């Protein structure tokens, strides 16, 4: 186990109650998700997410040393996974410090919609673990955060590792392969399929045919080459192929229209949330006439009744993450109810 880093003590480090903060970004669904071979040639479920750093969750945790162990209150209510993560993190920190675990108060804020496949629960969980550790004067390594996240929610996205393209075993919380330092440059026109209805990730069936392993290993090699060569066109091909395979489970009625729009405007391809309804059309930022293509894309999505959300990039721009964008649908931020509500989610500016 990688040891945690102890932060330098502050003047009030001996205070009866200590408060820490933590933040975690989200993602925009997956570029690739399927079954892959690990280092021992064993098949493992894994994914590669599409980072989206402009959105996320922030946690504030106040440690109450005299409170009973595991007594954690959460605001807003209903964040069961975040509460579980706080309890696990408190135990982890207490063990590292040689102290008895205690309870505390957790407050979560953020602007992520639930159930669209953007890693909202993982963002909550990671921010929570970081806040708890911060309140105890510790910096937990990503591998430890991943382990706690999987225990808290059953599966986890690799958000604790930052924006590097990683093939990540989501139900084990470990990296199968580091593909490189960054994804190829891309402009992503985001949209919401399925009317923006939430999807319960863990309730989705796991459909993997015998021949799928060879197909996904082929896509893995393609993505590895796309990252190495900064090849946006190849990135788009991988995203589209992975999304098409996932339609056996998700069955988005708009998927044929989405791929047809991508072809008609000269996009590199599409990507989807493999456990949600958020999707994106990928463009090479170096393609001629990009602003015109983006406008045509937004109009085509509108004609098909597919709400466009936010247009962003996989690379940093001087002023903002956003690129010249299409229609943005304003709506509610993340609801304050359970992790995956059964009611319809209003379309946000994701």
| Residue 306 belongs to some domain of the structure | yes
DSSP-derived letter for residue 139 is: E
The whole-angstrom separation of Cα 203 and Cα 205 is 6
Whole-model pTM: value is 0.84
CATH code where residue 84 lies: 3.30.230.10
| Residue 236 belongs to some domain of the structure | yes
| Residue 333 belongs to some domain of the structure | no
- Backbone φ and ψ for 56, nearest 5 degrees, come out as 170, -170
pLDDT at residue 194 in the model: 84
| Residue 265 belongs to some domain of the structure | yes
pLDDT in tens, 246-278: 998 888 999 999 999 999 999 999 999 988 889
Q: Look at 22-26, 122-126, 156-160, 340-344 and tell me which has the smallest mean pLDDT.
A: 340-344
| Residue 77 belongs to some domain of the structure | yes
Tally the domains of the chain: 1
| Residue 348 belongs to some domain of the structure | no
**CA-based Rg of the chain, rounded to a whole angstrom?**
20
Where does residue 66 rank: exposed (0-12), middle (13-18), buried (19+ CB within 10 A)? exposed
User: How high is the mean pLDDT of the chain?
Assistant: 85
| Residue 37 belongs to some domain of the structure | yes
Q: Which domain holds residue 225?
A: 5-313
Pairing state between β 103-110 and 72-75: parallel
CB atoms within 10 A of CB 310: 24
CB-based contact 267:297 (threshold 8 Å): yes
| Residue 234 belongs to some domain of the structure | yes
């Amino acid at each position: 186990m990688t040891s945690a880093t102890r932060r330098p003590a502050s003047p009030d480090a001996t205070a009866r109650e200590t408060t820490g903060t933590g933040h975690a970004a989200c993602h925009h669904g997956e570029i690739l998700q399927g079954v892959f071979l690990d280092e021992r040639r064993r098949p493992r479920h894994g994914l590669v997410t599409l980072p989206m750093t402009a959105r996320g969750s922030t946690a504030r945790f106040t440690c109450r040393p005299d409170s009973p162990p595991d007594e954690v209150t959460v605001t807003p209510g209903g964040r069961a996974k975040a509460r579980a993560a706080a309890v696990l993190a408190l135990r982890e920190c207490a063990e590292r410090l040689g102290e008895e675990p205690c309870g505390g108060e957790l407050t979560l804020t953020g602007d992520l919609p639930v159930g669209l496949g953007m890693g909202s629960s993982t963002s909550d969980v990671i921010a929570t673990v970081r806040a708890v550790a911060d309140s105890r004067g510790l910096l937990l390594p990503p591998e430890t955060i991943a382990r706690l996240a999987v225990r808290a929610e059953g599966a986890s996205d690799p958000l604790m590792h930052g924006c590097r393209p990683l093939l990540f075993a989501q139900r084990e919380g470990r990296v199968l392969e580091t593909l490189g330092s960054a994804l190829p440059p891309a402009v992503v026109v985001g949209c919401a399929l399925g009317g923006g209805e939430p999807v319960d990730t863990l309730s989705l069936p796991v459909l993997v045919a015998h021949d799928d392993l060879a197909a996904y290993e082929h896509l893995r090699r393609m993505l590895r080459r796309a990252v190495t060569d900064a090849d946006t066109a190849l990135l788009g091909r991988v995203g589209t192929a992975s999304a098409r395979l996932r339609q056996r489970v998700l069955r988005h009625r708009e998927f044929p229209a989405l791929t047809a729009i991508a072809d008609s405007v000269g996009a590199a391809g599409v990507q989807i949330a493999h456990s949600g309804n958020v999707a994106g059309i990928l463009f090479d930022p170096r393609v001629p006439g990009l602003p015109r293509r983006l406008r045509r894309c937004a109009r085509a999505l509108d004609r098909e009744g597919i709400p466009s959300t936010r247009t962003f990039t996989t690379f940093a721009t001087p002023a903002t993450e956003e690129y010249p964008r299409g229609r943005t649908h304003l709506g509610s931020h993340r609801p304050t109810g359970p992790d995956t509500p059964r009611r319809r989610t209003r379309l946000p500016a994701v």
